[in-house]
Amino acid sequence: MRKLFFVVLALLLVGSFSTAYAADVRLGGAVIFDGTVWGGGMAIDIPVGDRPVVATIGADYYKKSPVTAIYVPVMAVYKTEAGESAQIYLGAGSGLGYVKLDLGTLGSASSTKALGCGVAGINIKISEKMGIFAEANYYRLMTSGADND
């Protein structure tokens, strides 16, 4: 696995929650774009002043034997209203990616690398404190000597 390129389509429908500190928390299930690798994730959106920009810290976990992947992105995300109860958002950033390959009786091999990432999604509020959302994430591990296809 010299080069790792994941496009993640995450249908995160478990919901988003607002806290007393004005931060939003998103929790949900996810699937890698090809539809065969399931996982889950969470993100915390922290407002940056009065601007429509938030700092997002997240964690995503995916597993399909024999591969386990964990991504921890930190992004700047722009949010804008899309009607009375919906927001659309778009962001980019960097973080860390961890990939482990289980080799059975031979042990395992793992690697932690920096990553570039992006997100686009919609959050629809159901009530003051709860909502549902759908988003697409892009993760690209930075691998020395890899093609940037």
Tell me how crowded residue 120 is: count the other CB atoms within 10 A of its CB: 15
In the 8-state DSSP scheme, what is residue 55? E
| pLDDT tens column, 33-59 | 776 788 888 999 988 888 899 999 999
Give this prediction's pTM: 0.77
Judged against a pLDDT cut of 90, whether residue 19 lies above it is answered with no
- Of residues 55, 99, 46, the one with CA closest to residue 76: 55
* C-beta of residue 146 within 8 angstroms of C-beta of residue 2: yes
| pLDDT tens column, 65-120 | 888 999 999 999 999 999 889 999 999 999 999 999 998 888 889 999 999 999 99
